[in-house]
Structure 1
Amino acid sequence: MSALPTNFLTPTGREEAWRFTPLKRIAGLHDPATTVADRISISLFGAPRPGFSLSTVPASELPPRSSTDDAVIQRVRSGVTHVTHLAIDKEAVVSEPIILKRSASGTSEFSRTVITAGAHSKSTVVVENSGSATIGEEIEISLAAGAQLTFITLQEWNEKTVHLGRHHAIVGRDATFNSITITIGGSLVRLLPTVEYSDQGGSAELLGLYFATDGQHLEHRVHVDHGIPHAKSRVTYKGVLAGDQARTVWIGDVYIRGNAEGTDTYELNKNLLLTDGARADSVPNLEIETGEIVGAGHASTTGRFDDEQLFYLMSRGIPMSDARRLVIRGFFAEIVAKIGIESIEERLMSRIDEELAKVGE
Structure 2
Amino acid sequence: MTDTAEHTAQNLTTDHSRAAADGADSHGVGTPAGSRADRGTSFALADFPLPTGREEDWRFTPVHRLQKIFAGDLTGSGPVVSVEHDDAVRVETVGRDDSRLGTVGAPGDRSSAAAWESFREALVVTVPKGHTEGRHTTVTVSGEDGAAAEPAGQHVLVIAEELSESLVVLDHRGAAHLSQTVEVDVRDGAHLTVVSVQDWDDGAVHLAAHRAKLGRDARLKHIVVTLGGDVVRVTPDAAFTAPGGDVEMLGLYFTDSGQHQEHRLFVDHAVESCKSRVTYKGALQGASAHSVWVGDVLIRKEAEGTDTYELNRNLVLTEGARADSVPNLEIETGEIEGAGHASATGRFDDEQLFYLRSRGIPEADARRLVVRGFFAELINQIGVPLVQERLMAAIEEELDKTMHQEREAVTR
Aligned partner of residue 366 in structure 2, secondary structure: helix
Answer yes or no: is 1:91 the counterpart of 2:91.
Answer: no
Residue in structure 1 matching 2:362, options 315, 319, 326? 319
- Does 1:21 find its partner at 2:58? no
Q: Distance in 2 between the 1:70 and 1:273 partners?
A: 30
Relative to the length of structure 1, the TM-score reads 0.95
Aligned to 1:60: 97
Give the letter aligned to residue 130 of structure 1.
R
Letter in 2 for 1:139: V
Q: Which residue of the other structure, out of 180, 194, 197, is the alignment partner of 2:223? A: 180
Summarize the alignment of residues 1-361 of structure 1 with structure 2, pairs less than 5 Å apart.
6=46, 8-26=48-66, 28-32=68-72, 34-37=73-76, 39=78, 41-45=80-84, 48-61=85-98, 62-65=100-103, 66-106=105-145, 107=147, 108-361=151-404
Query: Aligned partners of 1:95 and 1:331: how far apart in 2?
Result: 32
What secondary structure is seen at the aligned counterpart in 2 of 1:29? helix
- Shift in alpha-carbon separation, 1:158–1:40, aligned structure 2, 3 A: closer
Q: Matched residue pairs, number?
A: 355
Within 2, Cα distance between the matches of 1:257 and 1:51? 38
Identity of aligned residues (%): 45
Give 3-state SS (helix, strand or coil) of 2:68's partner. coil
Distance 1:325 1:312 in 2: 14
Gaps of 5+ in 1: none
The 3 A distance-change label for structure 1 pair 40 and 272 is closer
Within 2, Cα distance between the matches of 1:225 and 1:344? 29
SS of residue in 2 equivalent to 1:325: helix
Distance across 2 between alignment mates of 1:256 and 1:10: 30
Instruction: Sort the Cα spacing of 1:213 and 1:114 in 2 relative to 1 into closer, same or farther, 3 A.
Output: same
**Aligned partners of 1:122, 1:137: CA distance in 2, in Å?**
25
Amino acid at match of 1:72: S
How far 1:58 moved relative to its partner?
Answer: 1.0
Whether contact under 8 Å (1:27, 1:134) holds in the other structure is no
Letter in 2 for 1:103: S
- Which structure has more relative contact order (CA 8 Å, sep 6+)? It is 2
Following superposition, the deviation at residue 94 of structure 1 comes to: 3.3
Q: Distance in 2 between matches of 1:300 and 1:148?
A: 29
Higher helix share: 2
Helix, strand or coil at the partner of 1:201: coil
- Taking structure 1 as reference, are residues 306 and 172 closer, same or farther at Cα in structure 2, changes over 3 Å only? same
Q: Is the 2:217–2:244 Cα contact (8 Å) retained in structure 1?
A: yes
In the superposition, the TM-score normalised over structure 2's length comes to 0.84
Alpha-carbon distance between aligned partners in 2 of 1:38 and 1:227, rounded to the nearest angstrom: 38
Cα deviations across residues 229-272 of structure 1 (Å, max 9, x unaligned)? Answer: 11100000001011111100000000000101111000000001
Residues 205, 234 of structure 1: 8 Å contact kept: yes
Change (3 A) 1:38 1:145: farther
Q: Which runs of 5+ in 2 are unaligned?
A: 1-43, 405-412
CA RMSD of aligned residues (A): 1.5
Kept in 2: contact 1:27–1:162 (CA 8 A): no
SS at match of 2:53: coil
Amino acid at match of 1:79: S
| Change in CA separation of 1:272 and 1:5 when aligned onto 2, cut-off 3 Å | closer
Q: CA deviation at 1:6?
A: 5.0
SS in 2 for 1:208: strand
Secondary structure in 2 aligned to 1:360? helix
Q: Is the 8 A contact 1:189 1:218 kept in 2?
A: yes
Cα distance in 2 for partners of 1:58, 1:87 equals 16
Structure 1 residues 231, 285: closer, same or farther in 2, change over 3 A?
Answer: same
Q: Given the superposition, is the C-alpha separation of residues 278 and 40 from structure 1 closer, same or farther in structure 2, using an over 3 Å criterion?
A: closer
**Higher strand fraction: Structure 1 or Structure 2?**
1
SS of alignment partner, residue 343 of structure 1: helix
8 Å CA contact 1:262, 1:292 repeated in 2: yes
Contact 1:40-1:84 at 8 Å conserved across structures: no
Q: Give the superposition deviation at 1:40.
A: 6.9
What secondary structure sits across from 1:354 in the alignment? Answer: helix
